[in-house]
Structure 1
Amino acid sequence: MQNLYDIMQLLKQYGTFIYTTDFLGDLHLMEDEVKELYKSGIMDIKDYQMAMLILRQEATKYEMKKR
């Protein structure tokens, strides 16, 4: 997993499509979905950690641009 697109493709594999026109809200929803995949044993710890890092970096980038 290297970028946001990879996370979106992973979620799509499990039937989760997130698009609400609120980018920051979408990132938070993706975080929740990734946490659930990890809790249910579908994701390993390495992929989980990388996905969470990418999502948080994207949220930070978005917030910095907005200022």
Structure 2
Amino acid sequence: MKTLYEVQQVLKRYGIFIYVGKRLWDIELMMIELKKIHEQGLIEDDEYFKAYLVLKQEHRIEEQKEMENKE
């Protein structure tokens, strides 16, 4: 798992569709939902950690873009 799209496909398997309108907020909500399905034991640890790392990386990229736009 390497892309945000792949993480979205994982969440879609559980009926979770996220679109808030701001990419950063979408990523944050995906993190919350991913954590919930992991805590419920619906997703394997390895898949969870791969998806979480993708989300963390994408979140970092979006934060950097916002910082650059403010400067």
Q: TM-score, normalised by structure 2?
A: 0.86
Query: What is the CA deviation profile of residues 9-39 of structure 1, one whole-angstrom value per residue up to 9, with x for unaligned ones?
Result: 1111111110011111110110011101111
Compute the TM-score of the two structures, normalised by the length of structure 1.
0.90
CA separation in 2, counterparts of 1:19 and 1:9? 13
Structure exhibiting the larger radius of gyration computed from Cα positions: 2
What is the Cα deviation at residue 2 of structure 1?
2.2
Q: Which runs of 5+ in 1 are unaligned?
A: none
- 1:18 alignment partner, SS class: coil
**1:35 corresponds to:** 35
CA distance in 2, matches of 1:2, 1:51: 8
**Deviation of residue 63 (structure 1)?**
1.4
- How far apart in 2 are the matches of 1:46 and 1:15? 20
- Among the aligned pairs, what percent are the same residue? 39
Query: Within 1, Cα distance between the matches of 2:28 and 2:65?
Result: 17
In angstroms, what is the RMSD of aligned CA positions? 1.0
* 1:52 corresponds to: 52
Please list every run of 5 or more consecutive structure 2 residues that lacks an aligned counterpart in the other structure. none
Kindly report structure 1 stretches of 4+ aligned residues shifted beyond 6 Å. Answer: none
